[in-house]
Chains A and B, each alone.
Chain A
Amino acid sequence: MTGAGYMELLKLVAPESIMVLTVLGVLAADLWGLRGEELPFRRSMGAIISCSGCAGAIGWMLVAPQQANFAEGILVVDPLTQLVKVALLVLTVCAILITVDTDFTPHTGEYFALILLAAVGMMFLVSSEDILMIFISLELTSLSLYILTAFNKRQAKSAEAALKYFLFGGMAAAFTLFGLSLLYGFSGSTSLGGIADAIKGPRLDPLLVAAIVMTLIGFGFKVAAVPFHLWAPDVYEGAPAPSAAFIASGSKVAGLVVLAKVVMIGFKGAEGSAAWHGYLPGWVPVLAVLAGASMVVGNLAAIAQTSVRRLLAYSAIAHAGYMLLGVLGHDGQSLAALIYYVITYALTTLGAFGVVAVVQERVGGDRLSDFAGLSRRAPFLSFCMLVFMLSLAGIPPLAGFFGKFYVFAAALNSDPKNLGLLWLVIVALGMSAVSLYYYLRVLKQIYVAEPAADAIPVRASVLSRVVLALLSLAVVVLGCAPNLLIDKLVQAIRLAGF
């Protein structure tokens, strides 16, 4: 490669480079500058450096939008990937800001560095169309997230969660790697486009089916789809709250976007069909089964939970099911619906975790009963939680409603002559109604139940209040005026050629 080529590459990966430099900066500052300082001060400084790094990367992408496809899909930069990356960085910033108020570790520099590294992994993940690169970024993200989960060394639960996460994740990654190697063997190419060219044909090779299924296992794990969801409840419950929030939001966005890209570009021509009585082998039926199972298991299991974090975990599994419905549509409109859904979902769930983090920090637990009468103890937090829960439940006019509506409409519209996904949409609608029950259980505790006699007022810091207020505002605004995001998405997707 020539020098000019490297310059070109450097420009394309400038946002990621900024982030990596920030990682080094945070570590260096914590090592040399902040060792002797008070912990809250170190946390604030670390957060300031990390957030300015993220802001720099966002700024770069907004100021200098680019469009390039480097080395047959190793790195793809276009408005769509940039939009997703901006969303990821915003989520990262929010997760970092939530961290400032929680006190679970003295190793602040390392914590922020790992969050940023995970974000870098996600950014590469969504901007690559090459299986090798995708796998490397997937690992970078996963490894960072495993450590983030284990970061609360004072709690055995945190270590337990991380171990489960790691073991499941390692297994899933092994399957994915095996699947990817089969795909490479089959097509002789590592780029998604090359794979798609090779697998085009009248019927699917059994080996190819095995490769597709194995590849999907790893991504199914990443998005916490049933039956690869078993890690989620433990991680969401045991991990430090900001880590859990980041895993629930950023990791979900990146995982679904890359899954959509892999199946829509890489497995083009191997869709098959999940239609009732019209089954054809391919990736669509596989994902349809995952989606249906996720919706049913996630929603039904959530009903039985007494820990709000576990409840959010099962709700995340259920939402993974709805989101997969967006992947199943596999056309431009479905992709727009999917990305709208994951972004708004991530904002919402991040906010919910933010509230849980504050309550847990002050009250010491995340049982449903710990939220009893929260509306009297913390009216502002309760109102934010109201917005988040209703949005997750899909109540108009919040973002969650429009997201569901759009995904369902797009899924039906992808195959209108057959309405092949109708059965799945009906399952999804029914299960959304079920989900209302457990979200309202949380709100019932907050607004209706009497607080315990010795309950103390819950005070959130100004920073948490601002973050939560912004997140709820975003949920309301994106719900009332979805076009703010959708216009951009539709344009970007058209440019990206879906």
Chain B
Amino acid sequence: MTGFPLISLLTLVPFIGAVLVIGIDPERRKLARWLALGFSFAGLALALVLWGRFDSASGSLQLEERHLWIPTLGVQYHVGVDGLGLLMVLLSAIVVPMAMLASWNIEDRVPIYFSLVLFLQAGLFGTFTALNFFHWFIFWELSLIPAFFLIKLWGGPLRAPAATQFFIYTMAGSVALLLVFLALFLAAGTFDFLQLADLGRKGALIPLLSAKLGWHDLTTRGLALALFAGAFFGFAVKVPLMPFHTWLPAAYTEAPTGTTMLLTGLMSKMGVYGFLRILLPIFPGEVHRMLTPLLWLTVITIICSASAAFAQRDLKRMLAYSSINHLGYCLLGLLAVMSSSRMAAVPAVEKAAALNGVFLQMFNHGLTAATLFWFVGCLEARSGGARGLHDFGGLRKVAPVFCGLMGIALFSSLGLPGLNGFIGEFLIFKGAFPLVTWATALSVIGLLVTAIFILTILQRVFHGPLNERWSRLPDLTLVERFTVLPAIGLMFVLGIYPQALLGVINSTVVRMVEQLTF
């Protein structure tokens, strides 16, 4: 508890950067870009320091800071990270500079753009480290508003409806979350995630709810279920889970490339993170009761989004649906963990495998999806806006480096062994199969369709006869190569040596698996 407030500093640095950058004269674009990039690298450096000081042998929350803030409302400033939080902080710290570099060529209102990205980063760091609902919610909202503006002001031709739809959906989710936590606060008198999770685990929340709250004829179990549904909605929109996904294809497609990277790489993880940190620990009983419908939703999400991606003719939309599909695997894994208690025979190792897979998948998908969108953004910039599946062909001949590197990212997304995408999906399926066999078996269809449409991309865009329109398409420049190489390198490293991350998260996973049994 004592010591240097590293986590607060981590959140504060991008925030200060955002305030500084927004004050720069709009004409001094270069200064704004470099300053913003500098601050995002400072964030990365701090995240690495955090990693260094993190004790991966312990699965509990570390580097906690706890201060009284508004005692009248039970609000404390309480931050800390465990393996999950650290993983997400690292991912944010890596993806944000990439997204900034992807936005390097934006010429319009540069300081505001980069300042909003930094605000978003502060919001993400805050969300992934906060342990009290009050400021967690502040950060959650803080990340939503910059995203709205990034889409609305710098997006493609249909940006206005896309931004509005994104905003209304996520705002509705936030309102639901706010109401749920107000109700929990009225019942339990605390906003602290750990205390609430403790109550949820011991099953003490239901008696508290029945003692303190009521709504006409609703039974207490019904009330708890309603609260669960509200929180579930809030997170499901963000992930997204079908049928709450309709904002996503439009938002991902219309947003400028850098913003799409942030949306898919990081903001979708906020939803999964919410499931892991908040929903499952606080409402284990309700999750358990609703498991079968939830699993059906997940399976539908996995299969339908893969099929929808297959049906698209626009590369960005394909990747958007593929993103839904990949996060569906995360939900499959974490729901599988919740199912297991009925079968005492299932060893904890399966649950741990599934949950490890979920964590890895979150990280990997963040990295891979952001990189893929970066590639599509490159392609779009070179082709003057064309990004149709059938607009290209034979690019391998004119842009071999581009095709080679993007091919690696695509294979990673497909889950080719040796690349990072494989290990997460493998662990999820390995762990989930004995726990929820039918759902896992059905989800395999999603894997198959994913493979088909990713190979289709490879075939249509890179191979075949060269489309004459693009015979002068420039290959990646040196700067671009250096931007993307670290990400590609990381894909190999994590694919071959996943222990680098597993070491960080395993203790947390083991601890979570213990605690999620009920």
A278-B216, A412-B183, A412-B186 known; A396+B70 contact, CB < 8 A? no
A395:B141 contact, CB within 8 angstroms: yes
A395-B145, A490-B72 known; A418+B175 contact, CB < 8 A? no
Residues on A with C-beta less than 8 A from B175 are 426, 429-430, 433
A396:B216 contact, CB within 8 angstroms: no
Q: How far is the CA of A268 from the CA of B250 in the complex (A)?
A: 54
Check A483 for interface membership: any CB of B closer than 8 A.
yes
Apart from A395-B145, A401-B138, A409-B186: 14 A-B pairs, beta carbons within 8 A: A277-B216, A376-B26, A396-B138, A408-B178, A412-B186, A416-B186, A417-B213, A418-B214, A418-B216, A419-B215, A425-B179, A483-B69, A483-B72, A486-B70
Which listed residue, A379, A401, A413, A482, touches B70 by the CB 8 Å rule? A482
Q: What residue of chain B has the Cβ atom nearest to residue A409's Cβ?
A: B182
List of 7 A-B pairs having minimum Cβ-Cβ separation, nearest first: A396-B138, A417-B214, A429-B175, A433-B171, A419-B215, A416-B186, A416-B213
Count residues on chain A whose CB falls below 8 Å from chain B CBs: 35
Check A447 for interface membership: any CB of B closer than 8 A.
yes
Q: How far is the CA of A487 from the CA of B68 in the complex (A)?
A: 13
A406:B215 contact, CB within 8 angstroms: no
CB-defined A-B contacts under 8 Å, sample of 30 = A276-B216, A277-B216, A278-B216, A376-B26, A379-B23, A396-B137, A396-B141, A401-B138, A402-B70, A408-B178, A409-B73, A409-B186, A412-B183, A413-B186, A416-B187, A416-B213, A416-B214, A417-B212, A417-B214, A418-B214, A418-B215, A419-B183, A419-B215, A422-B215, A426-B175, A429-B179, A483-B69, A486-B72, A487-B72, A490-B72
Q: How far is the CA of A405 from the CA of B26 in the complex (A)?
A: 36
Q: How far is the CA of A418 from the CA of B183 in the complex (A)?
A: 12
A277-B216, A419-B214, A429-B175 known; A412+B182 contact, CB < 8 A? yes
A483:B71 contact, CB within 8 angstroms: yes
Main secondary structure of the interface of A (DSSP, over half): helix
Residues on A with C-beta less than 8 A from B430 are none
In the complex, what's the smallest C-beta–C-beta distance from A257 to chain B, in angstroms?
Answer: 19
Q: How far is the CA of A401 from the CA of B137 in the complex (A)?
A: 11
B138:A397 contact, CB within 8 angstroms: yes
Residues on A with C-beta less than 8 A from B183 are 412, 419
Q: How far is the CA of A336 from the CA of B71 in the complex (A)?
A: 14
Instruction: Bits for A360-396, please: 1 = Cβ < 8 Å to B, else 0.
Output: 0000000000000000100100000000000000011
Residues on A with C-beta less than 8 A from B26 are 376
Check A31 for interface membership: any CB of B closer than 8 A.
no
B141:A408 contact, CB within 8 angstroms: no
In the complex, what's the smallest C-beta–C-beta distance from A411 to chain B, in angstroms?
Answer: 10
- Which residues, 59 to 79 on B, are CB-close (under 8 Å) to A? 69-73
Residues on B with C-beta less than 8 A from A412 are 182-183, 186
In the complex, what's the smallest C-beta–C-beta distance from B518 to chain A, in angstroms?
Answer: 26
Q: How far is the CA of A482 from the CA of B138 in the complex (A)?
A: 14
List chain A positions with a Cβ less than 8 A from chain B: 276-278, 336, 376, 379, 395-397, 401-402, 405-406, 408-409, 412-413, 416-419, 422, 425-426, 429-430, 433, 447-448, 481-483, 486-487, 490
- Which residues, 146 to 192 on B, are CB-close (under 8 Å) to A? 153, 168, 171, 175, 178-179, 182-183, 185-187
Q: What residue of chain B has the Cβ atom nearest to residue A418's Cβ?
A: B214
Most buried by A among B23, B171, B185, B187: B171
Residues on B with C-beta less than 8 A from A433 are 168, 171, 175
Check B109 for interface membership: any CB of A closer than 8 A.
yes
A401-B138, A412-B186, A430-B175 known; A406+B73 contact, CB < 8 A? yes
B182:A408 contact, CB within 8 angstroms: yes
B142:A396 contact, CB within 8 angstroms: yes
Check B35 for interface membership: any CB of A closer than 8 A.
no
A409-B185, A416-B212, A483-B70 known; A426+B179 contact, CB < 8 A? yes
Q: What residue of chain A has the Cβ atom nearest to residue B72's Cβ?
A: A486
Q: How far is the CA of A238 from the CA of B383 in the complex (A)?
A: 55
Q: How far is the CA of A370 from the CA of B141 in the complex (A)?
A: 30
In the complex, what's the smallest C-beta–C-beta distance from A335 to chain B, in angstroms?
Answer: 13
Q: How far is the CA of A66 from the CA of B186 in the complex (A)?
A: 35
Q: How far is the CA of A53 from the CA of B23 in the complex (A)?
A: 39
Check B319 for interface membership: any CB of A closer than 8 A.
no
In the complex, what's the smallest C-beta–C-beta distance from A487 to chain B, in angstroms?
Answer: 7
Residues on B with C-beta less than 8 A from A429 are 175, 178-179
Count residues on chain B whose CB falls below 8 Å from chain A CBs: 31
A395-B141, A447-B112, A487-B72 known; A419+B213 contact, CB < 8 A? yes
In the complex, what's the smallest C-beta–C-beta distance from A57 to chain B, in angstroms?
Answer: 29
Q: How far is the CA of A401 from the CA of B138 in the complex (A)?
A: 9
Residues on B with C-beta less than 8 A from A486 are 70, 72
- Which residues, 116 to 156 on B, are CB-close (under 8 Å) to A? 134, 137-138, 141-142, 145, 153
Instruction: Bits for B242-274, please: 1 = Cβ < 8 Å to A, else 0.
Output: 000000000000000000000000000000000
Q: How far is the CA of A336 from the CA of B178 in the complex (A)?
A: 20
Q: How far is the CA of A487 from the CA of B69 in the complex (A)?
A: 11
Q: How far is the CA of A487 from the CA of B71 in the complex (A)?
A: 9
In the complex, what's the smallest C-beta–C-beta distance from B74 to chain A, in angstroms?
Answer: 10
Residues on A with C-beta less than 8 A from B168 are 433
Residues on B with C-beta less than 8 A from A487 are 72
Q: How far is the CA of A203 from the CA of B112 in the complex (A)?
A: 61
Q: How far is the CA of A492 from the CA of B168 in the complex (A)?
A: 40
In the complex, what's the smallest C-beta–C-beta distance from B153 to chain A, in angstroms?
Answer: 7
Residues on A with C-beta less than 8 A from B71 are 483
Q: How far is the CA of A447 from the CA of B72 in the complex (A)?
A: 37
Q: How far is the CA of A46 from the CA of B73 in the complex (A)?
A: 43
Residues on B with C-beta less than 8 A from A483 are 69-72
Residues on B with C-beta less than 8 A from A406 are 73
Residues on B with C-beta less than 8 A from A417 are 212-214
Q: What residue of chain B has the Cβ atom nearest to residue A483's Cβ?
A: B70
Residues on A with C-beta less than 8 A from B185 are 409
A448:B70 contact, CB within 8 angstroms: no
- Which residues, 220 to 260 on B, are CB-close (under 8 Å) to A? none
Residues on A with C-beta less than 8 A from B112 are 447-448
Residues on B with C-beta less than 8 A from A376 are 26
Q: What residue of chain A has the Cβ atom nearest to residue B142's Cβ?
A: A396
Q: What residue of chain B has the Cβ atom nearest to residue A386's Cβ?
A: B22
Q: What residue of chain A has the Cβ atom nearest to residue B171's Cβ?
A: A433
A448:B215 contact, CB within 8 angstroms: no
Residues on A with C-beta less than 8 A from B179 are 425-426, 429
Residues on B with C-beta less than 8 A from A336 are 72
Residues on A with C-beta less than 8 A from B141 are 395-396
Q: What residue of chain B has the Cβ atom nearest to residue A482's Cβ?
A: B70
Q: What residue of chain B has the Cβ atom nearest to residue A376's Cβ?
A: B26
Q: How far is the CA of A65 from the CA of B213 in the complex (A)?
A: 40
Residues on B with C-beta less than 8 A from A430 are 175
Q: What residue of chain A has the Cβ atom nearest to residue B215's Cβ?
A: A419
Q: What residue of chain B has the Cβ atom nearest to residue A397's Cβ?
A: B138
Q: How far is the CA of A358 from the CA of B216 in the complex (A)?
A: 52
Q: How far is the CA of A406 from the CA of B112 in the complex (A)?
A: 32
In the complex, what's the smallest C-beta–C-beta distance from A446 to chain B, in angstroms?
Answer: 12
In the complex, what's the smallest C-beta–C-beta distance from A132 to chain B, in angstroms?
Answer: 36
In the complex, what's the smallest C-beta–C-beta distance from B272 to chain A, in angstroms?
Answer: 23
Q: How far is the CA of A433 from the CA of B145 in the complex (A)?
A: 12
Q: How far is the CA of A442 from the CA of B109 in the complex (A)?
A: 18
In the complex, what's the smallest C-beta–C-beta distance from A94 to chain B, in angstroms?
Answer: 25
Q: How far is the CA of A238 from the CA of B72 in the complex (A)?
A: 41
Residues on B with C-beta less than 8 A from A396 are 137-138, 141-142
Q: How far is the CA of A395 from the CA of B149 in the complex (A)?
A: 15
In the complex, what's the smallest C-beta–C-beta distance from B73 to chain A, in angstroms?
Answer: 7
Residues on B with C-beta less than 8 A from A277 are 216
Q: How far is the CA of A159 from the CA of B115 in the complex (A)?
A: 46
Q: How far is the CA of A310 from the CA of B70 in the complex (A)?
A: 35
Q: How far is the CA of A402 from the CA of B137 in the complex (A)?
A: 12
Residues on B with C-beta less than 8 A from A379 are 23
B153:A448 contact, CB within 8 angstroms: yes
